[in-house]
Chains A and B, each alone.
Chain A
Amino acid sequence: MIETWYVILTLMLILFVVLEGFDIGAGMLQYLVGKTEAERRMVIAAIGPLWSWHEVWLIGFGGTLLVAFPAIFAASFSGFYLAFFLLLWAILLRGVSIEVSGHLADPLWRTAWHTLFVGANGLLAILIGAALGNVLRGVPVGADGKFALAFFTDFSPAGKVGILDWYTVSVAVFVLATFAAHGASGLVRRTDGPVNERSYRVAGRLWIAVFLLLIVVSIETWHVRPELFANMIVRPWGWLGLACVFGGLIGILVAWRRKFEGALLLSSGVFITGLMIAGSAGAFPIMLHSTLRPEFSLSAYQNAGGSYGLGIALVWWPLAFIFSIGYFIFVYRYYSSKVKPAQDTQNPY
């Protein structure tokens, strides 16, 4: 049961990162791939009316974490207090800038919101990356199962750590590059014309950067948390994750060279999914690793909610998941085609 919930939570997080990662990455590249106002609007249009649907996976994840592992939910969000509010505010500003930029045709209005949009997306990628880095590295969980983090301490990933150190910063850079590459790959699939061509070129460069950073971050992770890899290679889920990572990378290479647009986006998604499966498989059952003493770490087994509640949730959760596949099919039938350059009329007047 606890393993099932761990898998469900990983799945929700993967869906959030893959879906929202495209929005964030595409958003960061708005000025890089869009040289005219119409082209920049195409980037917004490619993110489309579905950004909130992508974002709700985070809400779904939060609620599910609360029901399945209340103590982990409590410790992690209060421990990252200020950083987490920065994340929430970046999400807020990002959503607002998508929604309102199209309402006025005035160039100053547009530029102001676009700038905020690009900045908030960049900040989001870095914050999500730093959060991932913290979960991989561990946080200073004490004997009471609680922790509070400073933004940084001595930049060393051991002992009394802060949110930022050389390890978490490099993970943040890796996530920034990965989201950007994923976003560029998605823009190739969703746009035509100059935006498509620029995105294609940018995607090529970014994927090379991601590949190099992946090597760096893997070596660093092996140094910081060697047991992650030790677990990964003895567990079937770890193998599945690694297979997805390598399959995704090969897919990206082939699809980029031959310009298979759909396959490029798909491979990109498989690559990210693989990383997250491999990481989760390596970490299980530890959900929050303690940098102070390993025995303080918060494990899934000791921190799960009551079994009756988890059993009930195992009834309603799959049902909701089936429903959401239904909405997905209903909506994507209408919104999977390419954005056309001439169509920019979110402003109806």
Chain B
Amino acid sequence: MEDTLFWSRLQFAFTISYHYLFPQLTMGLAGFIVFFQWRYLRTKLETYHAAARFWSRIFGITFAVGVVTGIPMEFQFGTNWAAFSKFSGNLIGQTLAMEGVYAFFLESALVGAMVWGEKRLGPRNHFLATIGVAIGSWVSGYFILITNAFMQHPTGYSVAPDGSLQLANFAAFLLNPWGLMMFLHNQCAAVVTGSFVVAAVGAFFALRGKYTEPASVFLKTGTLAGLISCFLVAFPTGDRQAKMVAQSQPAALAGMEGRFRSGTNAELNIIGQPDEKLRQIDNALYVPGALSILAFGYDNASVLGLDAFPKDEWPPNIELLFYSFHIMAGLGTLFILLMAIANFQRWRGRLETSRGLLWALMLAFPFPYIATTAGWMTAELGRQPWLVFKLYRTSQGVSEVVNGGNVLFTLIGFCGLYFVLGVLYLFLIGREIGHGPGSAGPLEVAHD
């Protein structure tokens, strides 16, 4: 049982983190593709046309990997978390099914037409198909985040006589305030990822001195959208999110900050290493009172530490939670800085000629992926030891009939498959970037 729990958690964490590398890019790129197509329809400039087609091809490959890595996610609720599925299926099934029949149906029906069907559909319907895919990808994110929000902050449920959870108020469940804020925070982060990738490809072409017109478009739209989305991720969405954690999950906040002792005028650790045994932060560099301000708005607010909670309600991995949160927040701050410099240079008309900045933009694209993964680790590790916050422990949710060895076997299988898939993905995307936006794209293809 213990083994099954551990390996099942690791398998879910691995498969979901890997899967989410792809949807965050498609959700982030969707808006860019709609924008480029719209600009093309308005201006008839070939650069925008090439830009839209180039990013559609990248979208297509990314979407396909997102689909095939996403299918195991829903079914893992049944295979590995059977007890949890039985306990809360009447609620989480609503949003998981709605994701399928509303978002995924829309996306998957239209994505082929968007990537391959421009000539066949004509400009107007092709643009409609693109908008449909964009809407589908964001709606999909909403339903998944509402599902997660129920686990973080359950609303709209009642407890049935057999102990299982039943839907009691659909509006409260579907409009969970926690979910709404998470959705905004998460979608802004997806736009950050998309912006960094668009800007990085633009910087690559600019440094190479190739495709200068599309490169300029990528750099300008990428850095502008990047600056806006980086700000929105931090404020108001990230800030509001942190305040909600402070309100509803004080133990998670204490873990995120490595705060072992309660008290007023709480300090914010900029760096440090939590030591769970000695209950202290090693080599801490902190700002006094800042955590009180961030969490509650004034500097002498009392912030609970882990000492205020029984040990079995502590998040079980304080170190990882602390590092995840600090990596996310630290990277988010650096992103604002980088994008602010890029926009300053753009304003001066020097964006495409500052080689140092172009190098930084080109190499920065992996970091939003790290930041989003760390952000999700913060949310999920902070929720522990609960599967549904304060209602159901993670250890209760695992499938009783599945042995740990079987889960380890499938986890290793996923590692192997996903490694190959990752190599393949990078190869194909590298090829698309190598071909660039200038070449004749797939105006018409075999899908006929």
Contacts and interface: CB of A to CB of B under 8 A. Distances in A.
Question: Contact residue range for chain B?
Answer: 35 or more
A128 interface: no
B41 to A, nearest CB: 19
Given A146-B401, A308-B166, A53 B97 contact: no
B102 A66 contact: no
A100 interface: yes
A298 B446 CA distance: 47
A122 B111 CA distance: 26
Given A62-B78, A92-B72, A99-B61, A345 B442 contact: yes
A74 B89 contact: yes
Interface string A65-106: 111101101111111111011001101110110011011000
Given A78-B78, A306-B167, A50 B109 contact: yes
Interface in B127-185: 129, 132, 160, 164, 166-168, 170
A242 B372 CA distance: 53
Interface string A304-338: 01101110110011001101100110110011011
Nearest to A304: B90
Interface stretch (B20-28, B355-363, B433-441): B433-441
A74 to B, nearest CB: 4
Contacts of B102: 316, 320, 323
Contacts of A88: 71-72, 75
Nearest to A312: B170
Determine chain A's interface SS by DSSP, over half rule: helix
Interface string B82-97: 1101111111111011
B166 A99 contact: no
Interface string B103-115: 0111011111101
B428 A323 contact: no
Interface stretch (A40-48, A159-167, A201-209): A40-48
Contact of A53 (B108, B115, B116, B409): B108
B312 interface: no
B104 A59 contact: yes
Q: Which of A65, A77, A312 has its CB near the most chain B CB atoms (within 10 A)?
A: A77
Contacts of B99: 63
B270 interface: no
A70 B68 contact: no
A75 B402 CA distance: 11
A306 B168 CA distance: 9
A55 interface: yes
Nearest to B420: A96
B85 A327 contact: no
A327 B110 contact: yes
Contacts of A147: 401
B2 interface: no
Interface of B: 57, 60-61, 64-65, 67-69, 71-72, 74-75, 77-80, 82-83, 85-94, 96-102, 104-106, 108-113, 115-117, 120-121, 125, 129, 132, 160, 164, 166-168, 170, 399-402, 406, 409-410, 413, 417, 421, 424, 428, 431, 435, 439-442, 444-448
